[in-house]
C-alpha cells in the first residue's frame, strides 16, 4: 500500500464511479449520467456529488488490479477507510504519485 501525494485534483475512474480527488478532499460521482441508489455509510462518506474531506489516499494493488483506499477526516485512526472499485483510468499515473509505503 502506498500513500499518494496529491497536489492538484486527480480524476480517477473505477468500474462504477468517477472520483475527483484533491489534496484534502474527494468527491464520488456515478459513472453513468443517472442517479443511483444511495450507498449505505453511517457517516455519509459515500454520498455522490458532495465534497468530503480526507486525511490520506493510498494506492493498493491486489492480484494485478489497483484500487484506492481513502481515509475520510472524521473516521477513527483504526478505520479501514473507503475501498474503491478497480481503477480503470486516471488523469495521472497513480504509481508516480506514491510517496511512501507507510500505512
Q: What is the 8-class DSSP label of residue 23?
A: S
Q: What is the pLDDT of residues 16-44, one digit of tens each?
A: 899 999 999 999 998 877 666 666 555 56
Considering the chain, what percentage of its residues have pLDDT values greater than 70? 86
pLDDT for 38 equals 62
Q: Provide mean pLDDT across the span 49-66.
A: 92
Write down the residue that cell numbers 496529491 correspond to.
6
d(Cα 67, Cα 59) in Å, to the nearest integer? Answer: 6
pLDDT over 90 at 98, yes or no: no
Nearest 5°: phi and psi at 94? -60, -35
Amino acid at each position: 500500500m502506498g500513500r499518494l501525494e496529491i497536489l492538484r485534483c486527480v480524476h480517477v475512474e473505477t468500474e462504477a464511479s468517477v472520483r475527483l480527488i484533491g489534496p484534502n478532499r474527494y468527491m464520488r460521482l456515478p459513472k453513468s449520467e443517472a442517479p443511483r441508489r444511495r450507498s449505505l455509510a453511517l457517516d455519509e462518506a459515500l454520498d455522490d456529488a458532495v465534497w468530503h474531506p480526507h486525511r490520506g489516499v493510498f494506492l493498493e494493488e491486489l492480484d494485478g488490479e489497483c484500487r484506492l483506499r481513502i481515509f475520510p477526516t472524521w473516521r477513527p485512526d483504526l478505520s479501514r477507510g473507503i475501498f474503491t472499485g478497480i481503477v480503470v483510468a486516471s488523469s495521472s499515473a497513480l504509481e508516480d504519485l506514491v510517496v511512501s509505503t507507510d500505512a
